[in-house]
Amino acid sequence: MRAIATTLVAGLVLLAISPSPSNASGSASISGTLTSSNAPATDVCVGASNTSGETVKFGITDASGGYTLSGLEPGTYRIGFFTSDVRIDSFECRDANVLPEYFDNKSTLAAATPVAVADGSEVTGIDAELAKGGSISGRVSVGTRGPNGDICVQAYDSSGQSVKWTKTDSAGRYSLVGLATGNYRVEFGSCQEDGNVFGEFYPDEADLDHASSIPVTAGSDTPDIDANLARGGSISGTVLGEGSGTCWLFVDAYNSSGQVTEYSNWYSGSYKLNRLKPGKYRLKFDLACAGPPMLGSPVDHYVEYFNDQKSLATATPVSVKEGSETEKINVLLGQDGTISGTVTSNRGKLLDDVCVEAFDADGNPAGVIAHTTHGQYVIKALDSGYYRVKFSDCLEPDDPSVATEFYDDRGTLAEAVPVQVTRGTATTAIDAELRAKPKPPVARHAVIGRVSVKGPVRLNEGRKTIQRVRITNTGDGAANGVVLKVKGRGVRFRALVGPIRAGSTKVVRAGIRPRKSGRTKLTFRVTSSNAGRKSVRRVIAVRDRG
């Protein structure tokens, strides 16, 4: 069963709990005294909320019930008194058996009486008599060992919301305090994720839905809510493997009903399965290793069942007793047979990213699929036997870079030459020379992408001036049959530009001799037999020659 999570449970439901600003620099303060049942209310958290509802200052009552909230800016605040299951700033106020409220004897933040402070002022007398909370108490023992001081106890309200938690003391005693009148359900479990005890709900139930409701009245204790938790058994050992890169170890323990208890963690060479009930278990070990993700490295799995078996059905059972550790269940992974070799193209080039797969005598996939790096591959995790090997571009099956083939230069799996493998040894030199699939020619396109014009815009009628026209081919192919034409009132010009290489620019000196005076709009039009066309316009002023 899971370890109990220690979640935030604020006594004041509407109090916005957030860290108080570290840069608070005000000089005002609010102070007061809290009591409960005519006695000082110690270790109660106090919070000051501003007009936005944000809690900007926290404090805690001392042994006399007194508190002071200092460092406040001038303004208006609402003061709340509460308990919390988590540390608030540096304050711990989990164990005060009081019910929350706001000043002055209000139940919500909105209804709280505002407290105004001026710069440098000390507002005193913000006191409260807090109602005593209800409580649930009992004792927890573990197996035959008796009390256990490392058990977390958690209370849930009628809606299933966690509202309070505490820990047992060294004698196994606990008390859940600060509870409002109502019905609660209680859970017991280890405070540690790897704690080797079985959690339960009161009384001796497996889940919250079946737990019994425990009535609580504010101001009173509901005692004798006890529990005896079963101790778990464990299985531990070492796992040695040949995996490289980043590795993660998975261990699954199957009981006689097929239910699984799982262990997973970064590979460290050892493992321990906790919280196992008495019985026999079959173990599956999976060591998953991968290289750097940015290199697209595949994940290699080294799998076996204890003891050196290939299936769950043939695995050797491991016995577990309550509260006992079954040790030295060790395994050696990745020590199976391997097939390795070199893959090249028919031109002798070492090929990367070719998938190499092994199939057993029945045509079933076997071992770990390999991918070539610098032409080299290794198929791992093979048992003794005969295998047929396939070479293909399985990363791009819809557009393969090489033709698929089987060892030794065969076209089908049935025709492939079997390769013998002996467990614990390497079968080498299972090479392949693959025919590269011809790539379709790359289509290249020329584009007259940019045309610009520089030159004088004030011209004399009948006098020739030069306009510099820059023509750029922005495509990835050569632009052919490029022609420049300039037209306007009284202006005609045409020039054969010729080809323009991909990404290149040609400059054409266009000699313009206007024959009519006045403002004229010129169109510079560039055409090509394969790169499209583009035009720019320019307005010039032509002075009368007289």
Amino acid 244: pLDDT: 62
Q: Which residue has the tokens 């509202």?
A: 163
* CATH of the structural domain 134-229, one choice from 3.40.50.150, 3.10.450.30, 2.60.40.10, 3.40.50.2300: 2.60.40.10
Residues of the chain with CATH 2.60.40.10: 28-129, 134-229, 337-434, 448-543
Task: Kindly report whether the global pTM for this prediction surpasses the value 0.75.
Answer: no
CA 65 to chain centre: 46
- What's domain 448-543's superfamily in CATH? Immunoglobulins (2.60.40.10)
CA 71 to chain centre: 40
- 337-434: what CATH class? mainly beta
State both tokens at 47.
Answer: 């919070």
| Local structure of 305: helix, strand or coil | strand
Query: What kind of fold does domain 233-332 have according to CATH?
Result: Immunoglobulin-like (2.60.40)
Amino acid 9: pLDDT: 38
Amino acid at residue number 429: A
The span from the CA of 262 to the CA of 252, in Å, is 5
- CA-CA distances (angstroms) from residue 456 to 264, 485, 525? 78, 18, 18
CA atoms within 13 A on the CB side of 168: 28
The span from the CA of 157 to the CA of 242, in Å, is 51
| Local structure of 208: helix, strand or coil | helix
The span from the CA of 89 to the CA of 68, in Å, is 15
343-371: b (≥16 Cβ within 10 Å) or e: bbbeeeeebeebbbbbbbeeeeebbbbbe
Amino acid 291: pLDDT: 64
CA 264 to chain centre: 17
Nearest to 151 by CA among 170, 178, 127, 129: 170
Query: What kind of fold does domain 28-129 have according to CATH?
Result: Immunoglobulin-like (2.60.40)
pLDDT tens for the chain, 546 residues long, are 455 544 433 444 444 444 444 445 689 999 999 999 999 999 999 999 999 999 999 999 999 999 999 999 999 999 999 998 888 878 888 889 999 999 999 999 999 999 999 999 999 999 999 999 999 999 999 987 666 778 999 999 999 999 999 999 989 999 999 999 999 999 999 988 888 899 999 999 999 999 999 999 999 999 999 999 999 999 999 988 766 668 889 999 999 988 898 888 888 889 999 999 999 999 999 988 876 554 455 677 778 899 988 889 999 999 999 989 999 999 887 667 899 999 999 889 999 989 999 999 999 998 878 889 899 999 987 888 999 999 998 777 777 888 999 999 999 999 999 999 998 789 999 999 998 776 666 677 999 999 999 999 888 888 999 999 999 999 999 999 999 999 998 999 999 999 999 999 999 999 999 998 888 899 999 999 999 999 999 989 888 876
